[in-house]
Amino acid sequence: MAEVEFQNLRKQYPPRRGAAAVEVLRGIDLKIKDGEFLVLVGPSGCGKSTLLRLLAGLETPSAGEVLVGGRTVTNLPPSRRDVAMVFQSYALYPHLSVAQNIAFGLRRSGHRGWQQQLRDWLARNTAFVHSPREQAITKQVQHVAEMLNLGPLLDRLPKELSGGQKQRVALGRAIAREPAVFLMDEPLSNLDAKLRGDTRRQIVDLQRSLGVTTVYVTHDQVEAMTMGHRIAVLNGGCLQQLGTPMELYQKPSNLFVAQFIGSPPMNLLKVEVVSAEQVLLGGRRITLEPAAAGLLHNHLGKQLTAGLRPEKLRLAPATNRNLPAEVEQIEALGNEVLVAALLQESGEKVQFRALPAAALQLGQVIHLEVDASGWSLFDADGLALGQVL
């Protein structure tokens, strides 16, 4: 187990065919605690995989340092970093059985003299000789197979496995090596929804019980919110925010994070600050909680962007306090419906959840009650003023 640290890490790819050089990572400073499960998220091309590959030793940085367990590994090859990577594509050896795939890293690790290598080869290739090393490997493979329910599949080849089984073998191969750090690059994205959910829970359970520092790249909101102790949000090669899933959900530090975390995303609405307690939203004066006063004070008369999670809006009777809106889209999710509506006053789009029993129709005019607690407020630069508690 180990702490991982990136110090002012930069990665630039050289220019190609007349195009300018691409700076993919622009100075990442990040400390991942020992035993922590860190999820890396961000839009496509923001540099997530590059950061993971720099940690694995598959790329070299243009500047900055990578530390694992307090040791600088920036210039060490992958085999000397004590990390194990699980890829989206599984990357299993097609000609090796499940057991041989799991054992692969164990057999490769360590420096062995020719006599030891000969004993290992004999042990693998004869039914009679079992070196202590080979016995230890067999035991470790069985232990990992038991953990991942792979016992009955140990003799199969990868082509004889389902996607979920292949992914478990890839996980098993990483676990068997008992590395200091697990690196996972979208390991579940080739699985169907049900299997994805099951495997997600299994990875979380394994990580919590093994306590191995894990860096996990994903596009998936549910994985990001449910798997990690903390989430790091990247955009354009820069770290936007690092925090627990709830911190990011409740207190996004800027508009990018506000829109990126949460599904459906946070509603972002223009408001005008009309007093130290009140803002004008969709033509209605809304009194924010007293804690907002300190934040609004410096912005009297100005426009801000208010961030309201979908649960801050709910269907309500037509009164002069509630916001009129026209239903634009309805998505039935079974136990609830996801509704998109346009505020009549400003034309801004909002999303909220309702019960199917509300029987909403497209084009229907509805009224929305706004919960004035727990808003995020962002200035003209898109930075959070602070959370209204």
Ligand X SMILES: Nc1ncnc2c1ncn2[C@@H]1O[C@H](COP(=O)(O)OP(=O)(O)OP(=O)(O)O)[C@@H](O)[C@H]1O
Pick the piece of the chain touching ligand X (CB under 6 A) from 37-45, 131-139, 175-183, 200-208. Answer: 37-45
Q: Which of 4, 50, 191, 327 binds ligand X (CB under 6 A)?
A: 50
b/e map of 339-375 (b: 16 or more CB within 10 Å)? bbbbbbebebebbbbbeeeeebeeeeebbbebebebb
- CA dist 327 and 262 (Å) reads 21
Q: Which of 6, 30, 38, 47 binds ligand X (CB under 6 A)?
A: 47
Give me 169's structure tokens: 């073998």
Q: What is the CA angle 143-83-221, rounded to 5?
A: 90
Q: Which of 1, 22, 195, 274 binds ligand X (CB under 6 A)?
A: 22
C-beta neighbour count of 387 within 10 angstroms: 17
- CA dist 92 and 273 (Å) reads 58
Q: Is 54 in the site for ligand X (CB under 6 A)?
A: no
Instruction: Indicate the residue among 42 and 307 with the shorter CB distance to ligand X.
Output: 42
CB of 45 to ligand X, least distance (A): 4
Q: Is 187 in the site for ligand X (CB under 6 A)?
A: no
Q: Is 42 in the site for ligand X (CB under 6 A)?
A: yes
Q: Is 45 in the site for ligand X (CB under 6 A)?
A: yes
Q: Report 65-94 residues binding ligand X (CB under 6 A).
A: none
Q: Is 119 in the site for ligand X (CB under 6 A)?
A: no
CA distances to 79, 195, 359 from 227, rounded to whole Å, are: 27, 15, 35
Instruction: Indicate the residue among 228 and 310 with the shorter CB distance to ligand X.
Output: 228
Residue 382, classed as helix, strand or coil, is coil
C-beta neighbour count of 158 within 10 angstroms: 19
The H-or-E segment that residue 255 falls in is helix 255-260
Q: Is 293 in the site for ligand X (CB under 6 A)?
A: no
Q: Is 48 in the site for ligand X (CB under 6 A)?
A: yes
- CA dist 237 and 235 (Å) reads 5
* Those residues with Cβ within 8 angstroms of residue 227's Cβ, 6 or more apart along the chain or in another chain: 37, 39, 200, 203, 204, 216, 218
Instruction: Indicate the residue among 24 and 384 with the shorter CB distance to ligand X.
Output: 24
Give me 114's structure tokens: 């020719």
CB of 64 to ligand X, least distance (A): 15
Q: Is 46 in the site for ligand X (CB under 6 A)?
A: yes
Q: What is the CA angle 250-252-256, rounded to 5?
A: 140
Q: Is 61 in the site for ligand X (CB under 6 A)?
A: no
Q: Is 233 in the site for ligand X (CB under 6 A)?
A: no
Instruction: Indicate the residue among 35 and 236 with the shorter CB distance to ligand X.
Output: 236
Q: Is 17 in the site for ligand X (CB under 6 A)?
A: no
Instruction: Indicate the residue among 44 and 209 with the shorter CB distance to ligand X.
Output: 44
Q: Which of 17, 18, 44, 333 binds ligand X (CB under 6 A)?
A: 44
- CA dist 30 and 240 (Å) reads 11
Residues lying near ligand X in the complex (CB under 6 A) are found at 13, 22, 24, 42, 44-50, 219
